[in-house]
Structure 1
Amino acid sequence: MELHVRYEGDDDPKKCTARKLDRLGHATLHRSARATPPGIVLNPFAEQALSPADAESGPDRLVALDCSWETAEREAFDLDGPQRSLPFLVAANPVNYGTAFQLNTVEAFAGALAILGEREQAADILSTFSWGPTFLDLNEEPLRRYADCADSTDVVAVQDDYLADE
């Protein structure tokens, strides 16, 4: 699956997972919404959750927005394609370790890929980060359950199970 990033460049370049994905040939960075090709847009503010059904009906392309959380909501809506949010997942990166819903770009891509049935690609892009494989370990059960869902409604029901436990 193709990975594309609408890149704002407002973060620390040394910690930016999107830049590393681009450098290693796993993703392509785009400096404007116009230059970013349409795809399934990973938008934390979207009303519909990503599900395996998106792999069947959507484009074979994921688009993430790499920017500060302050500009994410405004910028995400400028991207073409179905907007989907990721369900409950826990970050493994050193900045947000153990925090739900605070994923960096590579974690968002990996979570989406696993849900869409591209587990091998998810593991591959995470393997270049020392903490990367921990993301799949921390989220093993929810990712497996989300990947077994039929649609967004089922994904939200599984997510509700995890949120009820919190």
Structure 2
Amino acid sequence: MDLHIRYEGDDDPQKCTARKLSKFDLAELHRNHRATPYGIVLNPHADQALSPVDRSVASDGALVALDCSWESAGEAQFSLAGDHRALPYLVAANPVNFGRPMQLTTVEALAAALCIFGEREQAEAILSKFTWGETFLELNDEPLRRYADCEDSTEIVAVQQEYLDR
């Protein structure tokens, strides 16, 4: 699956997972909205949860993430063309936000979407470039597998609610 990143460039370059993915030709960086292809846009402000059903749109277009600092990740940043979807509840494994729910890096978000789409090998491949990458899959193994087994976003939200209620 083609991975694309709308790159804002406002994070520490040494910690930027998007830049590292680009360096290894695992994702393509885009510096403006018009250059970013249409596809599934991972957007924490979206009204609909990402589900396996969305895989067909991503296969025809792209899986798109926005790489910016959490401080500037407001709704206005997500004016990218595409079908916007929110990732369900997951826990970060990156050193900056370890253990925090929903504070994922760009590579964690892309890997989570790939797992939900049944593309676990590609998720493992992109995470393998980070010392903590395997930890992300270990921390989220059960929810990622359950989300991948869901039929649609309604089921995803129901499974997510079980984790939120804990």
TM-score computed with the length of structure 2 as normaliser: 0.96
1:71: how far off?
A: 2.5
1:118: how far off?
A: 0.4
Deviations along 1:48-105, one digit per CA (max 9) or x if unpaired, are 000001113x1321000001223322111x2111000000000000000000000000
Letter aligned with residue 80 of structure 1: A
Taking the aligned partners of 1:47 and 1:116, their CA distance within structure 2 comes to: 19
Letter aligned with residue 5 of structure 2: V
Letter aligned with residue 94 of structure 1: P
1:75 to 71, 74, 77: 77
Secondary structure of 2:58's match? Answer: coil
Structure 2: stretches of 5+ with no match in the other structure: none
Structure 1: stretches of 5+ with no match in the other structure: none
Residues matched between the structures, number: 163
Taking the aligned partners of 1:116 and 1:21, their CA distance within structure 2 comes to: 19
Moved more, 65-74 or 31-40: 65-74
Taking the aligned partners of 1:128 and 1:59, their CA distance within structure 2 comes to: 23
Deviations along 1:88-136, one digit per CA (max 9) or x if unpaired, are 0000000000000000000000000000110000000000100000000
1:18: how far off?
A: 0.1
TM-score computed with the length of structure 1 as normaliser: 0.96
Deviations along 1:121-159, one digit per CA (max 9) or x if unpaired, are 000000010000000000000000000000000000000
1:20 aligns with 2:20: yes
Secondary structure of 2:22's match? Answer: helix
Taking the aligned partners of 2:71 and 2:21, their CA distance within structure 1 comes to: 23
Secondary structure of 1:59's match? Answer: helix
Matched with 1:59 is 58
1:40 aligns with 2:40: yes
Matched with 2:29 is 29
- Percent same amino acid at aligned positions? 67
Taking the aligned partners of 2:81 and 2:22, their CA distance within structure 1 comes to: 21
Letter aligned with residue 135 of structure 1: F
Taking the aligned partners of 2:8 and 2:66, their CA distance within structure 1 comes to: 8
Taking the aligned partners of 1:74 and 1:102, their CA distance within structure 2 comes to: 18
Deviations along 1:12-59, one digit per CA (max 9) or x if unpaired, are 000000000000000000000011011100000001000001113x13
Equivalent positions of 1:115-126 (< 5 A) are 115-126=116-127
Matched with 2:146 is 145
Output the aligned Cα RMSD: 0.7
Taking the aligned partners of 1:85 and 1:70, their CA distance within structure 2 comes to: 18
Runs of 4 or more above 3 Å deviation: none
